[in-house]
Amino acid sequence: MELTDSQNAIIQSPFERKIFLEGSAGTGKTTAGVARMRHMLTSGVPADRLLVLTPQRTLAAPYDEALRHPDVAAGGLVNIATVGGLARRMVDLFWPLVIEEAGFGAQDERPTFLTLETAQYYMARIVSPLVEEQGYFDAINIDRNRLYSQILDNLNKAAVVGFPYTEIAERLRGAWVGESAQARVYDQAQDCAARFRRYCLEHNLLDFSLQVDVFFAHLWTEPLCRDYLLNSYTHLLVDNVEEDVPVAHDLVYSWLPHAESALVICDQDAGYRSFLGADPVSAAALRDLCDERVTFTGSFVTSPEMQAFGDTLSRILQPGAVSAPPVVQPPPNLTNVLRFESCRYHPDMLDWTADAIAALVHNDGVPPGEIVVLAPFLTDALRFSLTHRLEQRDVPARSHRPSRALREEPATQTLLTWAALGHPAWGVVPTRYDVAYALMQTIADLDLVRAHLLAEVLYRVKDKTPALAPFDGVNPDMQQRITYLFGGRYEALRIWLDAYRAAAPAPLDHFLARLFGEVLSQSGYGFHQDFDAARTAATLIESVQKFRWIAADLPAGKPLGQEYLEMVQRGVIAAQYLQPWQERDENAVLLAPAYTFLLGNQPVDVQFWLNVGGTGWWERLYQPLTHPYVLSRRWSKGQPWTDTEEVAARQLSLHRLVAGLVRRCRKTVYLGLSELGEQGYEQTGPLLKAIQRVLRAQS
């Protein structure tokens, strides 16, 4: 890649300089950061003296990829980490220093680090009895998995913002202006958080919040640990700092005076992870400790017309500009960058979207991997409807929804149904519908009617023991209705399960890996060409493996696989796995929520924005137990959160969202418009009104 003079100036800057680099997305900041890292390595800077910090590991992908290049000099490893990962490493390394001071109960045992899934598992063990026996949270209607995740989110917010977790309820109550019954909900959430923290301390369990708390309260202030870090990593490279949390900024702020060199990279008009604690304001404070401030302009991604459209729309959506007339110049050649068609009904909009994508792929030669379909929320219905339409038009598609519960994935339901049949001692009895659904997913081209017939005549439960009967026991007429082709595939699955049941049971992740590799991925079975299902299977196997690592603390007498299956059935959300983020199938259209696409930080040629008139682009998710803005450093404790603040926050979020999307689009934005939304309501949301103002300005 040919670099600009501005990029070369950053790359060739003396290794004693500390630089704060900012600019919009697509201006080449990360490219300069990667090139500077490579330049430092080739110039003799020891790799193990360089620390690369990013808010999440997925954003470090360009640095990982650069270090895997064959021309990178051998010797030493560059440390690429998040603040959470760094905290975990230091807690593990200096565990004897903190075990007593931090109040852990098992003095002679090593720590157990929890994933999001395993943390929710322990939270469920603590909270479920309170809900069922003492009536906790009876004033709100919320799924159990969201209940657990929001209590954990409160603990995480306290840790990354830097206030005591015992103040969570006080801060939430102080901002609440509604009915007084909500205050009791906050108190109950506080009690659950305190019980969870006590349990973790007693059993040496460290969830994300406790790892961060222990690191900043006990290790970063400990000279031995602090000197180890400052002396080990003398060159800092901090990217996407605007997406990181306040304690990460505190860490870098303390580190910068001791570092030999630093490059701090910040995106303007970003901060998409604010719901996870990101704080662009505290990130901007880091520029004061740097020797030099550099701003990149000019995009490597967007065309001038696309940039003009984005600038116009962003100005209209800036906070305070909702009702003001647009004082902007009409963007040139808007028809080159913006396509839309107004439809009456939601299915018509999906048909138009699928037809437009098919035309781009088959007629215009646009690679499917350069097309992304975005919506504020990618529901099951929307995902299925659009995927089906694209399949009919011979366009491959994949989806990515990292917050989706494991149990909601068809591949997960299928694998765990066969796990229950493979382990009858667990006493888990799938319903006949579950078996029919699993058969339909397992056997390629098997329709629901034949799958139901198979389950009806061959799925047996005797003495609470589920099993599959042989296909040759079915009368000939039924065999012909099902067909011998499907019957043969069913029989191969049944024989495999029977053979497994006859041997000693294996760990659940081993069972799932064998089932996938020996049966489901073979020709004639449903996972053979289904890459989404394969990714889900890989995630599930990794999830089970991590769950097995905490097996020592599971209830006695219950098999680990059974405990895991029950946990998934309760709706525990999958932890974030790198594989779905890292895989970018160049031959498949991506379907994703808008924020998920932004956090992947990958530009594409064409974007489709669906349900543009819907309020989902504007509204925040309903979270009755937490509040991302109140639990932040930008909010004073005790200050009420009113409708005025809510509208301002929504407008700022929409402004950042739209600016981020446009800056990651090279050629064209297609707007999916329907007068009536998915639920049948008229759509006249703020994003649609802003786009209408852009169009009026042009005319």
pLDDT in tens, 150-203: 999 999 999 999 999 999 999 999 999 988 889 999 999 999 999 999 999 999
Q: Are 237 and 37 in contact (CB under 8 A)?
A: yes
The count of other CB atoms within 10 Å of the CB of residue 325 is: 10
Judged by DSSP in three states, 314 sits in helix
Res 399: pLDDT: 84
Query: For the chain, first and last CA: distance in Å?
Result: 40
Identify the band that residue 578 occupies on the pLDDT scale cut at 50, 70 and 90.
Answer: very low
Q: Are strands 459-462 and 465-468 parallel, antiparallel or unpaired?
A: antiparallel
What pLDDT, in 10s, does the model give residues 257-273?
A: 999 999 999 999 888 88
User: For 663-674, what is the mean pLDDT?
Assistant: 93
Q: Please tell me the predicted confidence (pLDDT) of residue 327.
A: 47
| Average pLDDT of every residue of the chain | 89
Only one residue has tokens 């919506």, namely 375
Going by the DSSP 8-state scheme, the letter that residue 604 receives in this structure is: E
Taking the C-alpha atoms of residue 433 and residue 447, their distance in angstroms, rounded to an integer, is 14
Amino acid 1: pLDDT: 66
Q: pLDDT digits over 432-465, tens only?
A: 999 999 999 999 999 999 999 999 999 999 888 8
Q: For the range 325-332, what are the long-range contacts, defined as Cβ-Cβ under 8 Å and sequence gap of 24 or more? A: 326/693, 326/694, 326/697, 328/697, 330/697, 330/698, 331/305, 331/694, 331/697, 331/698, 332/304, 332/305, 332/308
In this model, does residue 308 exceed pLDDT 50? Answer: yes
DSSP secondary structure code for residue 324 in this structure: S
Give the model's confidence band at 583: pLDDT under 50 very low, under 70 low, under 90 confident, else very high: low
pLDDT score for 325: 47
> Hunting for tokens 């703020």 — which residue is that?
686
With 0-12 / 13-18 / 19 or more C-beta atoms within 10 angstroms meaning exposed / middle / buried, residue 201 is: middle
- pLDDT at 403 exceeding the cut of 70: no
Region at 638 (left for phi over 0; alpha for psi -120 to 50; beta for the rest)? left
Over residues 584-611, the pLDDT tens digits come to 556 899 999 999 898 888 899 999 999 9
How is residue 334 written in tokens?
A: 């808007």
Question: Cβ–Cβ contacts within 10 Å for residue 549, how many?
Answer: 12
Comparing 237 with 462, which gets the higher pLDDT? 237
Report the percent of the chain where pLDDT is more than 90: 64
Residue 136: the pLDDT is 94
HSE-CB of 499 using CA atoms within 13 angstroms: 11
Residue given tokens 């180890």 in the structure block = 228
Higher pLDDT, 386 or 381: 386
Q: Cα(64)–Cα(62) distance, rounded to whole angstroms?
A: 6
Q: What are 487-538's pLDDT values in tens digits? A: 999 999 999 999 999 999 899 999 999 999 999 999 999 998 887 788 889 8
Q: What is the pTM of this model?
A: 0.88
Residue 114's closest CA among 472, 683, 553, 611? 553
Q: What is the pLDDT of residues 292-307, one digit of tens each?
A: 999 999 899 998 889 8
